[in-house]
Structure 1
Amino acid sequence: MGLFAFLVGVTLVGCKVGEPYKRPDFSTDDTGKFYSPDGVATDSILMEGVEPKDTTLLAAIPWKSYIQDTVLVALIDEALSNNIDMQKTMQELQIGMEQLEQSKANFYPSLNSTPGGYRREYYSENYNNYGSNRARTNHGEDVPTSFYTERMEYTSALQASWEADIWGKLRWKKEAARAQYMKSLEFKKAVQTSLISEVASTYYNLLMLKAQVAVATKTYQLNDSTLNIVKLQYDAGESTSLAVRQTQSRMLKSKTLVPQLERQYAIVENHLNYLLGRAPQPIVITTRLDEVSFQRIYSTGVPLDLIKNRPDVAMAEYELMKRNAKAGVAEALKYPSLTIDASAGLNSRTLSNFFDPVGSGFALLNGSIFQPIFNNRKLKTNYRVALSEKEIAQLDFKDNLLLAIGDVSTSLATINKLEEEYAIAQERIQVTRQGLKDAGLLFKSGFANYLEVITAQSDALESELNLIDIKKQILIANIELYRSLGGGWQ
């Protein structure tokens, strides 16, 4: 009994093996630099020339504040509620919560019951213990030689079992389950961020296509007007049939562009409906592409903020925590384990005496220590494998951090260069519009031929479509920057 008390005391004090988790220190390497427009690496990029004291970390801005478009906000809300992948992720998160709760229950005894049991054993003469129990019970009575009742009992009992967490095995299992749950939570954030990003990008594609359809329709109407003038000139003998055919060919080409863009619009619209978790249906969009804006007063932050906000980086760290806990479990398995079993109940060979608590009651208590000695090197191998998996998880953590910083730098560079390109495209628009106007006036005055007009119209169409496309790319790049910094799940 003294030994039992000693073992329980050791259990209560505990002797946890394994190493407590400590975040790796990557501050001494080159993982902390972003792209800057002047080509000099920097720890932080401020947008719009705002001072640090006036800035807000971009990733900390709620997505509804960052995306200033009521139509898009409504679409994203619907996607977060109805998207199939999002709903599946929520169920996975619930599974993780249940597993975490189960790991906490490992510290408590397991309790089972046998409300009622009946047992009757039949044997014959060649049974190796023939007649032993029957003879003792009936004081020498002759035992039948074939299918006699050797044993009969009625039972009702409670059974309990408890494993003492001497070396912290159960605590490490709980820590591993907690890390896995937190990883699932970060995965849910990652799915939400990705979903918001994809819905926004698809929406901006719709805005782009809608704007391009309008430009293509306007260009077709202009080409048609030019064709009518060329036909009048042909009827007056001032132009050739070649001029009519080439002008008509250009008009038909611009006319063909409209159904092409409308077809792409239908495809993108159906994809957006899929993201919203609904069947294909028209999506009413009242916003114009040139009306879209973002929250622009912000700072991108520094690498530490990526750890705090990016779900994939956080997932990698929680995986490292889990692997560290798994190593603790593997190490604890090398040491002795203490298990205590107990049971109590009623047992009687006759039903009439079954409910007699004095004459039919029983209680059993069993404590055992299990010490693995030789298991074909399995425990040692499992422990060393767990340590290697921990090192791999640490490398994955650093790899995700580097990828995250690279994503931010790429997004910043993309936005910077797209804005430069957009400024040039706007300048080109002014030139082509003036050229189109001049070509029209000169053509009507007889100082320009139809080829010059067609060329001016084609150049104007290309510049208009290009400007719309660059604007769309800028919008998507801003969404990508927001996503790459870990925003979108708040």
Structure 2
Amino acid sequence: MATGFMLVLPACGIPQVCCPQPGPVLPESFNAVTNSPSMNPAPSAETLQQVSASDEESDATTFASFIEAADTQELSDDSPTTLQPAQVNSETSPSDLPSNGDVAVGDSAGNVTATNPYEELLEFEDDGVTDFDDEVINWENSARISWWEFFDDPNLTSLINEAFTGNQELKILAQEIRKACLEVQARQGEYLPFVTAGLGAGLEKSSRFTREGAVEDQLTAAPGRGFPEPLPDFLLGANVTWEIDIWKRLRNAKNAAAYRYLATREGRTFVMTRLVAEVAENYYELLALDNRLQTIDKTIEIQQQSKEFALAKKEAGRGTELAVQRFQADISKNQSEKLIIQQDIIEVENRVNFLLGRYPQPIARQADDYINLSMHSLSLGIPSQLLRNRADIRQAERELAAAGLDVKSARARFYPTLALNAGVGYQAFNTKYIFNSPESLIYNVAGDLVAPLINKKAIRADYLSANATQLQKVYDYQRTVLNAFTEVINWMAKVDNYGKSIEIKKQQLASLESSVDNATKLFQNARAEYMEVLFAQRDLMEARLVLIETKQQQLAAVVNAYQALGGGQF
């Protein structure tokens, strides 16, 4: 299973649209250490000072300054080692950006190339691990197990592979990745020079009673020749406009777009993790329904035998019609329950087909020995591994970083903007003179320094809105981390408790099977009433159904715990 499982989305996540292209370049402020939530958790609300919108207090504390300070702080000797970033491999992960300009996000002095988002975070080694006994505590995180190794059922792995290629939500997210990819390019183009070229032609006649007309009467285009009337005008030229990003407003906007692009990719990874869990959970539910159906069929068969024996006793004058009717009533009840289970199977199969992006059809599965079905054991690892493995945490982290850069970009709008304008071309009243140089040559160079004076209220509103959005992302990051740890604890507890419950129910089932055998033998020897047989059979069937349901819940808990740990290794 080492090949054929990975969904490759070249060219910004769009299958078979264009060739894979180089990935985007991360902002220079991105650092595997300072951006890792395990090393720099988001500050609490108390650490963020109230931001003033006045022009004089433009250096007010924001989370953007917190990020900048974190990037420049010196690491201690026992700080974890940062991995060197590596170029994204388009053969194993979605390609990033089209080739018309690698997105160089950050200053030229130390650009950081975009890494594979599944490898870009540092390999963290906790010094405290050596203080514990490895035989007592398992520091390995189960999320590092690939999904095709975690689920060893070939039917299930085949369904998951098909879901990766056919699921509509993944296709929608592929377009979102493409849009975020193009947004980075759009923001990059804003701080590069704009070059335009054009052609022009026109006619002009000036009134003789104006200054222009009077001057033209006194001038000649050539010895013995006056200016044509009307006067043609032909122009060929090029213009350059460049806003000098002295306050890094445009650069920060582009960096924020790059972080949002990475967040979009992490969002897709999270959806893939959830998709694996949903397909597996529905698959195991199908196995449970198949076993419930087998249990009811077996119970109906036993009850049919008991009914025939009761009928034989009645015909021999040793029984009553009441016993036959009670056995028949239980048979009818179970036959009705069987139809309901068959309907549930149809609905669950269609849920799986919907996840796979295909029309209703049977789902291949193998339900032998369902009760003893085993899966990989789960281990929590250390908390920093959870922060590194959960795609939703990484997504919230990158959105938080983007919001901090948005604040910097909004604050820069209070400052003056410097723009350079230049043009060069040829202009003449006759096309045969247009390339006569230097007579027909024209050019201009100008610089503009523009500062906001009156419309500061709108700029201040945008600035405060960016700060509010930043705080939202802080709270969203904290909530995501809290939810992740809560999910892990809950699902791991369920896995443990359901496992213990199954062992107890197996013992109960063994006792009930023995009681049914004894009650049946006693009834056949006229030493027990038919009601004892009925009750024993009902208890046995209910115990089997409860055991199957508990096993289904245990498997669902294992799947969801694997997802909560961030498992998948996509």
2:375 paired with 1:294: yes
Report how far residue 376 of structure 1 moved. Answer: 4.6
2:335 paired with 1:251: no
- Give the distance between the partners of 1:354 and 1:140, measured in 2 at CA: 19
Q: Is the 8 A contact 1:345 1:361 kept in 2?
A: yes
Q: Is the 8 A contact 2:407 2:463 kept in 1?
A: yes
Task: Return the match for 1:111 from 195, 206, 227.
Answer: 195
Counterpart of 2:173 in structure 1 is 89
Letter aligned with residue 158 of structure 2: A
Q: Is the 8 A contact 1:411 1:477 kept in 2?
A: yes
- Give the distance between the partners of 1:414 and 1:228, measured in 2 at CA: 44
2:183 paired with 1:137: no
- Give the distance between the partners of 2:505 and 2:352, measured in 1 at CA: 29
Q: Is the 8 A contact 2:407 2:470 kept in 1?
A: yes
- Give the distance between the partners of 2:311 and 2:436, measured in 1 at CA: 116
Counterpart of 1:387 in structure 2 is 467
Report how far residue 139 of structure 1 moved. Answer: 4.0
Structure 2 runs not aligned, ≥5 long: 1-57, 72-127, 221-227
2:236 paired with 1:156: yes
Letter aligned with residue 174 of structure 1: K
List structure 1 segments (4+ residues) > 6 angstroms apart after TM superposition.
none
Percent identity reads 27
Letter aligned with residue 292 of structure 1: L
Partner SS state of residue 396, structure 2: helix
Q: Is the 8 A contact 1:68 1:295 kept in 2?
A: no
Letter aligned with residue 367 of structure 1: G
2:304 paired with 1:224: yes
Counterpart of 2:254 in structure 1 is 174
Q: Is the 8 A contact 2:242 2:421 kept in 1?
A: yes
Report how far residue 293 of structure 1 moved. Answer: 2.6
TM-score normalised to the size of structure 2?
0.72
Counterpart of 1:453 in structure 2 is 533
Report how far residue 131 of structure 1 moved. Answer: 5.3
- Give the distance between the partners of 1:416 and 1:332, measured in 2 at CA: 54
- The aligned length equals 440
Counterpart of 1:37 in structure 2 is none
Note closer, same or farther for the CA distance 1:351–1:408 as it changes in structure 2 (3 Å cut).
Answer: same
- Give the distance between the partners of 1:281 and 1:121, measured in 2 at CA: 76
Letter aligned with residue 472 of structure 1: Q
Note closer, same or farther for the CA distance 1:19–1:439 as it changes in structure 2 (3 Å cut).
Answer: same
2:162 paired with 1:78: yes
- Give the distance between the partners of 1:120 and 1:132, measured in 2 at CA: 18
Letter aligned with residue 65 of structure 1: E
- Give the distance between the partners of 1:447 and 1:151, measured in 2 at CA: 126
Counterpart of 2:145 in structure 1 is 61
- Give the distance between the partners of 1:130 and 1:100, measured in 2 at CA: 56
Q: Is the 8 A contact 2:197 2:239 kept in 1?
A: yes
Counterpart of 1:145 in structure 2 is none
- Give the distance between the partners of 2:487 and 2:374, measured in 1 at CA: 22
Report how far residue 52 of structure 1 moved. Answer: 6.8
Which of the two has greater helix per residue? 1
Note closer, same or farther for the CA distance 1:78–1:379 as it changes in structure 2 (3 Å cut).
Answer: same
2:166 paired with 1:120: no
Report how far residue 339 of structure 1 moved. Answer: 0.7
2:254 paired with 1:185: no
- Give the distance between the partners of 2:373 and 2:200, measured in 1 at CA: 74
Q: Is the 8 A contact 1:134 1:151 kept in 2?
A: no
Partner SS state of residue 200, structure 2: strand
- Give the distance between the partners of 1:159 and 1:193, measured in 2 at CA: 51
Counterpart of 1:31 in structure 2 is none
Counterpart of 1:401 in structure 2 is 481
Letter aligned with residue 546 of structure 2: N
- Give the distance between the partners of 2:216 and 2:383, measured in 1 at CA: 81
Counterpart of 1:8 in structure 2 is none
Partner SS state of residue 377, structure 1: helix
Structure 1 runs not aligned, ≥5 long: 1-15, 25-43, 142-147
- Give the distance between the partners of 2:328 and 2:205, measured in 1 at CA: 104
Report how far residue 149 of structure 1 moved. Answer: 7.1
Q: Which moved more, 1:104-113 or 1:444-453?
A: 104-113
Matches within 5 A, 1:242-391: 242-288=322-368, 289-290=370-371, 292-296=373-377, 298-391=378-471
Counterpart of 2:39 in structure 1 is none
Letter aligned with residue 548 of structure 2: I
Note closer, same or farther for the CA distance 1:135–1:246 as it changes in structure 2 (3 Å cut).
Answer: farther
Q: Is the 8 A contact 1:316 1:393 kept in 2?
A: yes
2:105 paired with 1:21: no
Report how far residue 209 of structure 1 moved. Answer: 0.6
Letter aligned with residue 88 of structure 1: I
- Give the distance between the partners of 2:363 and 2:494, measured in 1 at CA: 30
Task: Return the match for 1:431 from 505, 508, 511.
Answer: 511
2:545 paired with 1:462: no
Report how far residue 349 of structure 1 moved. Answer: 2.5
TM-score normalised to the size of structure 1?
0.84
Instruction: Output one character per residue of 1:44-81: Cα deviation in whole Å (capped at 9) or x when no partner.
Output: 9xxxx973786521122211121121111111011011
Report how far residue 150 of structure 1 moved. Answer: 6.2
Report how far residue 471 of structure 1 moved. Answer: 0.7
Report how far residue 106 of structure 1 moved. Answer: 3.3
Partner SS state of residue 166, structure 1: coil
Counterpart of 2:500 in structure 1 is 420
Letter aligned with residue 568 of structure 2: G
Report how far residue 140 of structure 1 moved. Answer: 8.8
Instruction: Output one character per residue of 1:292-342: Cα deviation in whole Å (capped at 9) or x when no partner.
Output: 33222x531233222211111112211211110010001111111111111
Q: Is the 8 A contact 1:55 1:299 kept in 2?
A: yes
- Give the distance between the partners of 1:434 and 1:121, measured in 2 at CA: 111
Q: Which moved more, 1:96-105 or 1:130-139?
A: 130-139
Report how far residue 381 of structure 1 moved. Answer: 2.8
Letter aligned with residue 375 of structure 2: F
Report how far residue 400 of structure 1 moved. Answer: 1.1
Report how far residue 385 of structure 1 moved. Answer: 2.8
